[in-house]
Structure 1
């Protein structure tokens, strides 16, 4: 172990792995729950629109998949002999997708709830709701892209500590 490769360096990588899945799952669960409440309330008046209005719940679930992808990539790179810079970059990657997914999940939940309730009263609002949901989903996608770019930059850092 050296100053560049302390024994606690893998901790930061593990925290990035945990942060990516924890925060995206919190966002996805909020989006699912909030949209689900709206769907339930809407289905009382218009049960024929229920299956059409499940789209916000599906989009919220995709947010969790973003976190899962980054978590698996970071966990696959986790090593007892890694540089501190490697751990920090992976922590940043995990926080990037995690916090972006949290924000996207909140946006999807709020828009999904109001959108499906509005669609029950005026079916022409459906297309507008879908467009707004797409913009909310893209926020999580931005975090995923940044996390993937950051995670690919950690490969050369492994050579600093002599890991194969």
Structure 2
């Protein structure tokens, strides 16, 4: 039995929110890891002693994927076969919020990490500046996580499907 508030296709949107959260953040984390890893490898040829110190961008890119995992698990916990369209759209919005902000943060971390570790090999005083820029890039993903958590908290509304 379907109604206007609880159509049969409503869970699809919640499922897509769960998918978007993990897929887009993992795309961002993968790009950030790959781009930073290329810079670390190039830098390691001349300065192998700095490899461990300059692994920070790879770690920060990996954290972006964790944001998507957290939101994806929370959204999947709220998925039901019969759920309001309102709830499903909020779940979709939460997934897109963390997913797309994680994608952007991963891109920023990758580009800054690549250039930063190469520059640090030539001028070690650039390390602190690289870390600060990486923090500002990481916080973009954190903003998406916060918005997604707030949105997902609103998904448990009083509307019920019978």
TM-score relative to the length of structure 1: 0.97
- Give me the whole-angstrom Cα distance separating, in 1, the residues matched to 2:125 and 2:143: 29
The match for 2:116 is: 115
The match for 2:5 is: 4
Contact in 1 for aligned 2:116/2:127 (Cα 8 Å): yes
Note the alpha carbon deviations across 1:4-34, whole angstroms, 9 max, x for none: 0000000000000000000000000000000
| Structure 2 residue runs without a partner (length 5+) | none
- Give me the whole-angstrom Cα distance separating, in 1, the residues matched to 2:92 and 2:29: 20
- Give me the whole-angstrom Cα distance separating, in 2, the residues matched to 1:70 and 1:10: 16
The match for 2:130 is: 129
Write out aligned runs for 1:26-65 (5 A). Answer: 26-65=27-66
How far did residue 156 of structure 1 move? 1.7
How far did residue 160 of structure 1 move? 2.6
- Give me the whole-angstrom Cα distance separating, in 2, the residues matched to 1:153 and 1:78: 14
SS of 1:161's equivalent in the other structure is: coil
Write out aligned runs for 1:100-111 (5 A). Answer: 100-111=101-112
TM-align CA RMSD: 0.7
- Give me the whole-angstrom Cα distance separating, in 2, the residues matched to 1:2 and 1:142: 35
The match for 2:69 is: 68
Contact in 1 for aligned 2:87/2:157 (Cα 8 Å): no
- Give me the whole-angstrom Cα distance separating, in 2, the residues matched to 1:77 and 1:154: 8
- Give me the whole-angstrom Cα distance separating, in 2, the residues matched to 1:64 and 1:154: 23
The match for 1:149 is: 150
Aligned residues: 161
| Structure 1 residue runs without a partner (length 5+) | none
How far did residue 161 of structure 1 move? 1.5
How far did residue 50 of structure 1 move? 0.3
Name segments (4+ residues, structure 1) moved above 6 Å.
none
Note the alpha carbon deviations across 1:47-101, whole angstroms, 9 max, x for none: 0000000000000000000000000000011100100010000000000000000
- Give me the whole-angstrom Cα distance separating, in 1, the residues matched to 2:156 and 2:19: 20
